[in-house]
A and B are shown apart, each in its own frame.
Chain A
Amino acid sequence: MATITIDEQQVECRDGIPALQAALEAGLDIPHYCYHPGLAVVASCRLCLMEMKLPHPKTGEMGWVPKLMPSCQTPVRDGMIIRFQSDTVRENVRATMEAYLLNHPLDCPVCDQAGECYLQDYSMRFGRASSRFVDAKTVMPKKEMGPRTLLYADRCVLCSRCVRFTEEISGTGELCITSRGARSEIDAFPGLPLDNPLQGNVVDICPVGALLDKDFLFTERVWNLKSTPSICPGCSTGCAIKVDTADGRVKRLKPRFNPGVNDWWICDDGRFGYGYVHDQRRLTQPLTRRGHDVSSPPWEEMASLVRVRLENESSEHGSEKIAAVVSPMMSCEEAWLLVQFVRQVAPESVLVLGHVPTEGKEQRFPIGSTNGQAKFVIRPERVPNRRGVELILANAGGSVIDFAAFIERAGAGDFAAAWISGGYSSEWITKEWAKAVVKIPLIVAHDLFPSALTEAAAVILPACPFVEREGSFMNHSRRLQTFQRALNPLSGCRQDGQFLAELAGHQGLYNGRRVRELMTAAMPEFGLVADPPPKPAHQH
């Protein structure tokens, strides 16, 4: 640790980090574009320049060195004295902001970035109110950089973050700067567009509206968005994200700073994997079947209805004939509540770790990096909470089997009744599994979409996707991370945790934290929530 003085305030910080990083972590608003803590330092934007106090080379007396220094390329040393509040520093920022705006098109009314734009913000805070430029603005082209990303080159401030991202993080090297001077442009080799699994991150790190996400283009003004912290359910890495919603819909997902897990990044699968939330085909009402009679009881009746039917099966056929498939898409709290309920009605019931879809091998980035060097990993296990569910099942004890075994036994007619939870973002029941599952006389299906499972189910309970729930997931390295509810459950659905709490006999509103408190009695792991610290306010 080091103690330095910034603008006459003592600041404690990690030794050797850039002075800019120390200032940002101390909550100071230091303008910067090219600097990013996850990328190499280039010191090209010249916004973060500071003054440093050093001993005079001849007299040894401490004095402010007239030559400004980039705070991004100056590592802190204990005792360093710097300042950002001086006329020279302020004048440089003002002049540099003016330089940026000379050729910048007046696109704010049509630019996605408005409201979260660092050209707008810095101009307001540090820049000039009017332009002194009367000449013709240099016009730059619009480009399709790749299948998902656009570049409006005349908005670009040439911070080169995107180029460094494809060089250092994805390791794919598609982006480059072409031409020279004020004619420089971000570009890609024609035919080798920006197209890698992490490419969406370049839009995040672009401080202005130059790089644009086609998915979000012209979709929503950012000040209309409500931002909710969450965890991506796409794989077992457990990237921290934020869910931006408006008008009851998810508009976009963005990464949340999460050091050691996903740092500043998420992959495209996670970023764009929310379409299913608003899919028209979602189940929207509880249904029960008896023979050919289908009825749609209200939610208030469902808890006792399900309890009664399962209790009947249990007493008639024996509690070991009851199974519960606990999906690894469920949160830890939901899984625990489900297990509590099932073991209440059927103490010898068989608990099943739900289907764990895997895709390929671990994908490490930058491409070609070895295990220790990777800066981002997409894991083959495409569910967020296998570890959490496993832990809960193990703790419950008794008969615990995996999904393959469940299918085998179901096919052999072992079960009289089963609660089967899904919650996957796409079709997951294969034809073979369906053949086995339909042999179970009483199925309670808790899922998002109609399928062969719901066709065969006696009770259908519409589930909610992660944005409509709150709780926690345990990632591949057993890190417990919480996610919050971004949207109300779709009309006709009830939040999974709420319904499961009711089933398990709990009173009142479902609350993830309170359920975890109950869980920690038997499983202390669930008391160790490791949510990421907030990013410094002015870091971007």
Chain B
Amino acid sequence: MAIADFKPVLLQNAGIDGGCTLDVYRSRGGYEGLAKTLKMSTDEVVEEVAKANLRGRGGAGFPAGVKWGFLPKDRTQTLLCVNADESEPPTFCNRVLMEEDPHQLIEGTIIAGYATKAQIAYIYIRVEFHEQFHILQKALDEAYAAGLLGKNILGSGYDLECYIHRGAGAYVCGEETGLIESIEGKRGYPRIKPPFPAVEGLFHQPTVVNNVETLSCLPHIMTRGADWFLGVGPEGSNGPKLFCISGPVNRPGCYESTMELTVRELIEDPRFGGGMRDGKKIKAVLPGGISMGILTADELDMKLDFADPRNYGLLGLGTAAAVVVDEDTDIRLVLANMARFYSHESCGQCTQCREGTAWMHKMASRLALGAGRMEDLDLLFNVPDTMGMMPGLSICGLSDGAAFAIKTTVKKFRNELEERIREQDDGVVQNVLAVLN
């Protein structure tokens, strides 16, 4: 299906008057997916979702059906957590989904709850989403009143309680076990695995954590079928997808398309980013949320699917949220901004991440202030190699994000960084170093 033919699915109710209300949602086909689901067995639902190859849209791309399959067959209790923490810069598509179509998320949550036999679903929403919290809670109230939540949903015999749990400002609580720890009222320290959440998660019970966008796909998979979902977009990266674009483009926003979309199209196509503002030129793009890494202006033909980013040295598709860096923006600023973020958000458990992100923050800040050294570039390139969950060095993926964000930037913009250092006033550098020591 070419992008031109694509009709919004996830955003089909966006901008519709009263789109947040139950009545309007229902009038446009809402909760039919749920009705259909409740007539199937839970195994059938899991199979359908697995068949649809619904890959997680939270950043890891892990297939939801496979994740649900990890739940022990003999379990008596299951908990579902909806990850509405959305803190990966510069992502905001979950926010859009919640403020434009809260019932789509709720329907998806109930479908997932049914499939996983969950008794309770907790929606973990970041505290900064004030308006979205109010909208979502009102929608939940409507759902309860209409018998869509609580006991005996739509007469099916299935019970599901759904509670909103507000976060309090911590990126690491978007990590599934950090989220679980936070719900339990503790510091958001990601857990060591094994045991995996599916076996022992929230309150020691089998738990599934799914992202808002992932769950929002479920009503559509159930109404239109797994085969339909498989047919949208390319194989392996199928299904409608939301993309965010921000920075100095004409139309920053959240758009829906298939994963055939390229970064260039997202930025320049008049249906999406609409091109650069004021004739600015592109210096760089971080296409997956900053944690996936950076692209140069020559790499914009990368496809925003689950596979192509790796060909460009990125960690993956991530949240498919792109921010464009224009030529007038100093790359040192970008580096320092990202380094500060990871240092501020590191939970502090793992030594290399805790100390390494703080070290990179100090170096990148000094660099941005005009007192950097060539050795700092080498360090900023090498310190990322000391951390990461994928090589087994750290407990969670925050460190991989930090590593990719910083390392790819230093690698791909080495020339510019060296140029900036050469332009520095030598006296300033010496003074700053003397003061620091």
Contact = CB atoms under 8 A, between A and B. Distances in A.
A–B: direct contact at CB < 8 Å: yes
A166 to B, nearest CB: 16
B375 interface: yes
A535 B341 CA distance: 44
Contact of B347 (A42, A92, A180): A180
B391 interface: yes
A70 B355 contact: no
Interface residues of A, number: 35
A181 B352 contact: no
Nearest to B365: A135
Contact of B355 (A49, A69, A182): A182
Contacts of B348: 158, 177, 180-184
Contacts of B433: 134
A103 B355 contact: yes
Contacts of B4: none
A45 B394 CA distance: 9
Contact of B386 (A41, A45, A92, A182): A92
Among A44, A49, A73, A181, the most chain B Cβ lie within 10 Å of the Cβ of: A181
Interface string A154-198: 000110000000000000000001001111100000000000000
A49 B392 CA distance: 8
A180 B433 CA distance: 27
Contacts of B24: none
Nearest to B349: A44
B359 interface: yes
Nearest to A68: B392
B192 A43 contact: yes
Given A43-B395, A180-B346, A182-B343, A73 B358 contact: no
Contacts of B394: 46
A92 B386 CA distance: 7
B391 A68 contact: yes
B392 A181 contact: no
Contacts of A92: 386, 393
Contacts of B351: 44-47, 96, 99-100, 157-158
B357 A69 contact: no
Interface string A136-152: 10100000000000000
Interface in A93-133: 95-96, 99-100, 102-103, 132-133
Contacts of A73: 192
Interface in A54-103: 66-70, 73, 92, 95-96, 99-100, 102-103
A67 B391 contact: yes
B187 A44 contact: no
B146 interface: no
Contact of A135 (B347, B359, B386): B359
A135 B371 CA distance: 11
Contacts of A183: 348
Nearest to B350: A46
A435 to B, nearest CB: 61
A181 B390 contact: no
A103 B373 CA distance: 20
Nearest to A52: B392
B355 A67 contact: no
Given A43-B192, A95-B386, A181 B357 contact: yes
Nearest to A65: B392
Interface in B355-412: 355-359, 362-363, 366, 373, 375, 379, 385-386, 390-395
Given A99-B356, A181-B348, A182-B343, A67 B375 contact: no
A92 B344 CA distance: 23
Among B375, B393, B394, B437, the most chain A Cβ lie within 10 Å of the Cβ of: B393
B436 interface: yes
A182 B357 contact: yes
Contacts of B192: 41-43, 70, 73
Nearest to B389: A67
Contacts of A177: 187, 348
A136 B433 CA distance: 9
B170 interface: yes
B393 A68 contact: yes
B138 interface: no
B392 A96 contact: no
Nearest to B172: A180
A516 B379 CA distance: 65
Contacts of A69: 392
B354 interface: yes
Contacts of A70: 192, 392
A46 B393 CA distance: 7
B345 interface: yes
Contacts of B379: 132
A206 to B, nearest CB: 16
Interface in B396-437: 433, 436-437
A67 B392 contact: yes
B46 to A, nearest CB: 24
Interface string A212-231: 00000000000000000000
A99 B386 contact: yes
Interface in B53-111: none
A66 B391 contact: yes
A50 B39 CA distance: 50
Among B170, B362, B390, the most chain A Cβ lie within 10 Å of the Cβ of: B362
Contact of A49 (B359, B362, B375, B393): B393
Nearest to A134: B433
A181 B170 CA distance: 11
Nearest to A94: B386
A43 B359 CA distance: 22
Contacts of B170: 180
B352 A46 contact: yes
B389 to A, nearest CB: 9
A67 B393 CA distance: 8
Contacts of A67: 390-392
Nearest to A70: B192
Contacts of B386: 92, 95-96, 99
Nearest to A44: B349
Contacts of B363: 135
A43 B345 CA distance: 20
A136 B358 contact: no
A134 B365 CA distance: 13
B393 A138 contact: no
Contacts of B350: 44, 46
B179 to A, nearest CB: 16
A458 B207 CA distance: 79
Given A92-B386, A135-B436, A102 B354 contact: no
Nearest to B363: A135
A136 B436 contact: yes
Given A46-B350, A46-B351, A102-B359, A181 B366 contact: no
Contacts of B347: 180-181
Contacts of B373: 134
A179 B30 CA distance: 44
Nearest to A132: B379
Nearest to B375: A132
Among B344, B386, B390, the most chain A Cβ lie within 10 Å of the Cβ of: B386
A306 B321 CA distance: 95
A66 B392 CA distance: 8
Among B346, B355, B363, the most chain A Cβ lie within 10 Å of the Cβ of: B355
Given A43-B395, A46-B352, A67-B391, A136 B343 contact: no
12 contacts: A44-B349, A44-B350, A46-B351, A49-B392, A73-B192, A102-B358, A134-B433, A157-B351, A180-B170, A182-B348, A182-B354, A182-B358
By Cβ-Cβ distance, the 4 closest A-B pairs, closest first, are A68-B392, A182-B358, A99-B355, A95-B386
Interface of A: 41-47, 49, 66-70, 73, 92, 95-96, 99-100, 102-103, 132-136, 138, 157-158, 177, 180-184
Given A181-B343, A182-B343, 15 more contacts: A42-B349, A44-B350, A68-B391, A68-B392, A68-B393, A99-B352, A99-B354, A99-B386, A102-B359, A135-B359, A136-B436, A180-B170, A181-B344, A181-B347, A182-B354
